[in-house]
Structure 1
Amino acid sequence: MAFKVDYTQFISAHSSRRRPALTRELTKRQYNAPKESISLAEGMPNEVTFPFEQINVLLKDGSQFTIQGPELHSALQYIPTQGYPPLVKSLKEFTQQVHRPPHWEKREILITNGSQDGISKSLEMLVEEGDDVLVQNPLYTGTEIILKPFKTNLIGIEQDQYGIIPKKLVEALENCKAKYTEEGGGMRKMPKVIYINPTGSNPTGVTMTLERRKEVYQICCKYNIIILEDGAYFFLHFLEEQPVSFLSLDTEGRVIRFDSMSKVLSSGLRLGWMTAPKPLAQNVELHIQSSFLHSSTLSQVLLQNVLQVWGFEGLLSQFESVRAYYKARRDFTLASMDRHLKGLCEWTVPSGGMFVWIKVRGVSDVYEMLMTRGPKKNITFVPGHAFMADPTEACNYIRASFSKATLKQIDKAMKLLAELIREELVLLRRKLDSLENNILR
């Protein structure tokens, strides 16, 4: 039995015209065919022509494995679009164990080139040109650049230290409803999708509470909205307990969730997976068929071997180690900010992720300060404009990353940022004095 949601009303006209590639479907079928089956259908190269004999992998904990023989042939070959079948099976089991989503049999997973790939293709599936799209504000800049070519109207939902504010979400939806009613449901459409990065959010580092997630989910049910849950930092939180995902709460089948190994295993592997109601997952699969066929097989086989060596408990232990590493760096960064930026800036303590979201006092727009005068001090921070639903508006926020620079460099950067802000305040004071003098004349 399928979910009650009518997915046809969410899929864009462009995406609804996608059809399966017969050759891709035959590749999928051949993977499940009996060993005695003979296929002359695939246009696959013969593995004997590949120059690789074996791949030896040594992990930092001393574990090691070798990829060779038939497994190496698979790692270097075309595979079904959904992903390397053994890894698909493993990630299904892992997702069930971690999230325990209701009605699992009505969902499917799809391996993607990191979560960005899944987010991009899902938005392209759901969004028509000119649509209103709900987003948390500020939001991950990679989402804004996906939507920009669609000429969408991004409706930013204000956040506090616990993520998007439910009351603000309802207000935004009621405003849309009023406009929709005024225009008689003509050209204007009600928003049908919301993008949320609820755990260790980029750029703010905030994490939504369970109570707030439940409230937001119920709002989305009431207004018939698909939730795009970006879980890139789900395993990179600094809380006592693992947060509960929207997927875990999804009784109606309106959550598309994106997971990633980029922050906790390796970003260069480009490995992520999306979990979605089957009709939506199948549509994204058709899109992948027509673009890059499938995600890197070698990366998928590497991850499958890591899972075989570590098991799920070993993988979760790796995540715990990564969390401890970044939490220590976060704490050092906050201490450095307290030394150098106290009185100049405001910030909240990040509950996850890799960033601190800094509000500069007395400077209404930080763009020129950071982009023009910052490089002269050999420091680089991201101006908050990059993460706002309307990046053209003045913004007094800065995103600082504590993930990669050395601790010594972080402290020096904060010290130089304090100098930069003080200099900016002097410049602004001079401009104001000059303006006042001109008026008095």
Structure 2
Amino acid sequence: MSRKGCEIDYNNFISVKASRRRPALTRELTKRQYSAPKECISLAEGMPNEVTFPFQAINIVMKDGTTLSIQGQQLNSALQYIPTQGYPPLLKKLKEFILQVHNPPNWSDRELIMTNGSQEGISCSLEMIVEEGDSVLVQNPLYAGTEIILKPFKPNLIGIDQDEYGIIPSKLIEALENCKAYTEEGGGRRMPKAIYLNPTGSNPTGVTMSLERRKEVYSICCKYNILILEDDAYYFLHFLEEEPMSFLSMDVEGRVIRFDSMSKVLSSGLRLAWLIGPKQLVHNIELHIQSSMLHSSTLSQVILDNLISAWGFDGLLSHFAYVKRFYQARRDFTVASMEKHLKNLCEWTVPTGGMFVWIKVHGVADVYDMLMSRGLKKNITFVPGHAFMADPTQACQYIRASFSKTNLKQIDKAMQLLGDLIREEHVLLRRKLDGLENNILR
């Protein structure tokens, strides 16, 4: 597919509200300050004087013995305002890292911006794209944080069902054709402009979309002029032999906004994440961040910049590989525990990445009361699948279980108690059914 055959009008993907955003002059001058000649004298920005900051140095000792020392001018920068886009030395390194890992086509047409976790990037992107009442395509089930962002817009969420290889292309085409027919008949809704995907180690299913599926989905989105919001927080936590091919790496048309995060592989509390996408769209997101919080944490960005300088990309990827092995071992233990305690009571697909397993309970049409009432009394907590469905009001027989943090002994105990709970639920349901039958006979 040639990019020359497709010129995307990005204005179609910017809502009326988002199109009204304008750059703050003070923020633009801050950006210029980082690229201005040393002899340039600036009395423009209202920055505090670093002399007044009480910090002399910040020393971070890593588990491998590496020490990151932030002091002097670098400490001044770490404690100061920076351009909204991010800490310039880190941006340079991350762009090199993305080229090494994903090697996206048409690199000069893209831009990168730092965000406080992927959640902020997803939120800003959806708020840029979606008008109230819009139709939005989502994988079903989907990451619950996305539904929370969209809810105030009163959207028409169109859930695309998944199997063990990711969303089903025929279901996506069917949904789009239905939207097209409805729109052409004057139904009052616009065609969807975007699809939200969590393609690697998906939350909550643990599914990693196959390469064949990714290519099919990308082709469909090109045909129907759909933006792909690629939320890949678990990209470095897949359990496959080969690295998954990202949508960004196959994006010849410039229709992917990709969200990356260090939360799962370095620290969730540092809130280190970034998004990359077409320049015009990223610029609009930058204006949103300017107006809401100015920029992401400078100190966190300087820490990552120092870590990459100390470890290099190979060291960073080596750490990611360690984290992946850690979670894969926990995945294996959890699945073995489920085989022991839940066999014949439930079914599941073995996760190919991430931190979760998605469990379908046999013989229970809706697990909500079972988990949130009787389950809590047994001191076990699982998330009812309702929280992840495009339509959370419908009955749901799925459960999300996390194997990331709880110790292995407790995981095994929880699966045993879940098995007991399901058996008890079966008994309660049989008694209820018998009672209804007796009432009918009377």
Q: Taking structure 2 as the reference length, what is the TM-score of the superposition?
A: 0.98
Task: Tell me which amino acid in the other structure corresponds to 2:56.
Answer: E
Which ranges of structure 2 fall in alignment gaps of 5 or more residues? none
1:187 Cα deviation (Å)?
3.2
Match for residue 136 of structure 1?
139
Alignment partners' CA distance in 2, 1:265 and 1:66? 18
Residue in structure 2 matched with residue 387 of structure 1 by the alignment: 388
Matched with 1:70 is: 73
Q: CA deviation at 1:241?
A: 1.0
SS in 2 for 1:112: strand
Query: 2:104 corresponds to which letter in structure 1?
Result: P
Q: Distance in 2 between matches of 1:170 and 1:6?
A: 22
Deviation at 1:334, TM superposition (A): 0.3
- For 2:126 and 2:359, locate their aligned partners in 1 and report how far apart those are by CA, in whole Å: 29
1:9 counterpart = 2:12 = yes
How far the C-alpha of 1:4 sits from its partner, in A, is 1.4
Residue type of the alignment partner of 2:182: K
Aligned-partner residue type, residue 78 of structure 2? A
| Residue matched to 1:319 | 320
CA deviation profile, 1:242-301 (whole Å, cap 9, x unmatched): 100000010000000000000001000001000100000000000000000000000000
* Structure 2 letter corresponding to 1:428: L
Q: How many residues align?
A: 439
Residue 428 of structure 2 corresponds to residue 427 of structure 1: yes
Q: Which amino acid aligns with 1:135?
A: V
Q: Give the aligned residue type for 1:198.
A: P
Could you say what secondary structure the match of 2:327 adopts? helix
Output aligned runs, 1:395-434, within 5 Å: 395-434=396-435
Provide the C-alpha distance between the structure 2 equivalents of 1:10 and 1:112, rounded to a whole number of angstroms.
20
Partner-residue secondary structure (3-state), 1:374: helix
Separation (CA, whole Å) in 1 of partners of 2:419 and 2:167: 30
Counterpart of 2:43?
Answer: 40
Q: Secondary structure in 2 aligned to 1:134?
A: strand
- Give the corresponding residue for 2:162: 159
What's the secondary structure of 1:194's corresponding residue?
strand
Q: What residue number does 1:264 align with?
A: 265
**Structure 1 residues 278-317: aligned runs within 5 Å:** 278-317=279-318
Percent of residue pairs bearing the same amino acid type: 76
Residue of structure 1 equivalent to 2:56: 53
Q: Which residue of 2 aligns with 1:332?
A: 333
Counterpart position of 1:95: 98
Structure 2 equivalent of residue 181 of structure 1:
184
| Offset, 1:417 | 0.5
- The aligned amino acid for 2:245 is V
**Aligned residue for 2:363?**
362
**SS, match of residue 77 in structure 1:** coil
Between the aligned partners of 1:222 and 1:162, the Cα distance in structure 2 is 22
Deviations 1:167-207 (A, max 9, x none): 00000000001101111xx7320011000000000000001
Alignment correspondent of 2:26: 23
Determine helix, strand or coil for the equivalent of 1:55.
strand
List aligned pairs for 1:172-251, cutoff 5 A: 172-183=175-186, 187-251=188-252
**Residues 394-413 of structure 1: per-residue CA shift (max 9 Å, x gap):** 00000000000000000000
Q: CA RMSD in A?
A: 1.0
Offset of residue 35 of structure 1: 1.0
In 2, the alpha carbon distance for the partners of 1:65 and 1:349 equals 39
1:115 to 118, 136, 151: 118
CA distance in 2, matches of 1:34, 1:400: 55
Name the SS of the counterpart of 2:236 in structure 1. Answer: coil
Counterpart of 1:43, as a letter, is G
The structural deviation recorded for 1:60 is 0.6
Q: Which amino acid aligns with 2:301?
A: Q
Tell me what 1:345 maps to: 346
- Counterpart position of 2:440: 439
List gaps (5 residues or longer) in structure 1: none
Q: Give 4+ residue runs of structure 1 displaced > 4 Å after superposition.
A: none
> Displacement of 1:105 after TM fit?
0.3
Q: Deviations over 1:359-406 (max 9, x none)?
A: 000000000010111111000000000000000000000000000000
Which residue number in structure 2 is paired with residue 105 of structure 1?
A: 108
Structure 2 CA distance for aligned equivalents of residues 69 and 374 of structure 1? 54
Superposed displacement of residue 36, structure 1: 1.2
1-structure distance, mates of 2:68, 2:414: 41
Residue 438 of structure 1, CA deviation: 0.3
